[in-house]
């Protein structure tokens, strides 16, 4: 679908329902992340960094009107320079999602944060994704990636999971009146089938490869010092003895 039609979907009742939960999670998480540089990849028409206090913020993607036009899997950004990267559904609409995560790892400084949202294929929203009638429509035309797979990719890149959440347990009805009738599923789903939310969120922290705490060999060092001290002491004692004899 064209970009205009995509924006039209966001303007629908279902699109607004989704964006409400996107804001709810991003607002909660990014508010307490600090640093100097923050970036949003994708969906730049929505400012999911609005409650973050990092001074330099910008958005990047190919479409819409971002601050920086760039492909997510080949970012023109210096390594180890970003404190926070958020990715609202950036992985599902790219042919190389694993490479995107590699780029995120590269540009994040050690202990930098990444926050990801994605559509859950193991949900009622995922069922809609597999219907033939919806395959060419946004957002069902994306490549929904299972939550365990994204976690595995992050783990392989040496990210540590810091948090996460699932939302949107109500079936993706276009009409609000039908979603209201199934609104009870929002609370019930979070309690009884928590892995079946239509949208998942992940918060991970980068850890640098090869960074280990090196402990000094105290015993070896002390043993060596004792031997040197002993030899020096013997030399001083023999010198004193010789001087005594001469006197």
Percentage of the residues of the chain whose pLDDT score is greater than 90: 64
Look at residue 116 and tell me whether its pLDDT is greater than 80.
Answer: yes
Short-list 48, 46, 68, CA closest to 58 = 68
Lowest mean pLDDT among 34-43, 160-169, 172-181: 172-181
Q: Virtual CA dihedral for 125, 131, 134, 136, nearest 10 degrees?
A: 110
Which one has a higher pLDDT value, 178 or 110? 110
In this prediction, residue 144 has a pLDDT band, given cuts at 50, 70 and 90, of very high
Residue 43 exposed, middle or buried by CB count within 10 Å (0-12, 13-18, 19+): buried
Q: What is the pLDDT of residues 20-46, one digit of tens each?
A: 999 999 999 999 999 999 999 999 999
Reading across the β-sheet that carries 108-119, which strands appear in turn?
68-69, 56-61, 37-41, 82-88, 108-119, 199-206, 159-167
| Class at the top of the CATH hierarchy for domain 3-206 | alpha beta
Sorted by sequence, the CB contacts under 8 Å of residue 195 that are 6+ apart come out as 120, 122, 147, 166
Q: What is the pTM of this model?
A: 0.80
- pLDDT computed for residue 186 by the predictor: 82
Sorted by sequence, the CB contacts under 8 Å of residue 63 that are 6+ apart come out as 3
Q: What is the pLDDT of residues 47-73, one digit of tens each?
A: 999 999 999 999 999 988 899 999 999
Lowest mean pLDDT among 157-166, 174-183, 184-193, 237-246: 237-246
Q: What is the pLDDT of residues 185-226, one digit of tens each?
A: 887 777 777 788 999 999 999 987 655 444 445 444 444 444
């Amino acid at each position: 679908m064209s970009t205009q039609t995509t924006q039209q979907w966001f303007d629908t009742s279902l699109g607004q329902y989704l964006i409400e939960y996107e804001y709810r999670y991003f607002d909660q998480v990014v508010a307490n992340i600090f640093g100097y540089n923050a970036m949003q990849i994708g969906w730049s028409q929505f400012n999911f960094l609005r409650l973050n206090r990092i001074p330099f913020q910008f958005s990047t993607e190919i479409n819409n009107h971002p601050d920086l036009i760039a492909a997510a899997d080949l970012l023109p950004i210096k390594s180890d320079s970003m404190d926070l990267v958020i990715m609202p559904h950036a992985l599902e609409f790219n042919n190389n999602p694993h490479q995107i995560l590699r780029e995120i790892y590269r540009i994040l400084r050690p202990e930098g944060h990444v926050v990801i949202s994605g559509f859950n294929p193991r949900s009622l929203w995922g069922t809609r994704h597999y219907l033939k009638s919806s395959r060419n429509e946004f957002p069902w035309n994306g490549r929904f990636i299972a939550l365990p797979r994204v976690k595995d990719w992050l783990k392989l890149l040496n990210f540590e999971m810091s948090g996460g959440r699932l939302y949107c347990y109500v079936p993706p009805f276009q009409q609000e009146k039908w979603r209201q009738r199934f609104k009870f599923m929002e609370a019930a789903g979070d309690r009884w089938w928590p892995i079946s939310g239509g949208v998942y969120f992940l918060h991970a922290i980068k850890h640098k490869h090869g960074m280990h705490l090196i402990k000094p060999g105290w015993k070896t060092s002390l043993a060596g010092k004792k031997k040197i001290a002993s030899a020096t002491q013997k030399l001083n004692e023999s010198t004193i003895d010789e001087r005594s004899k001469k006197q």
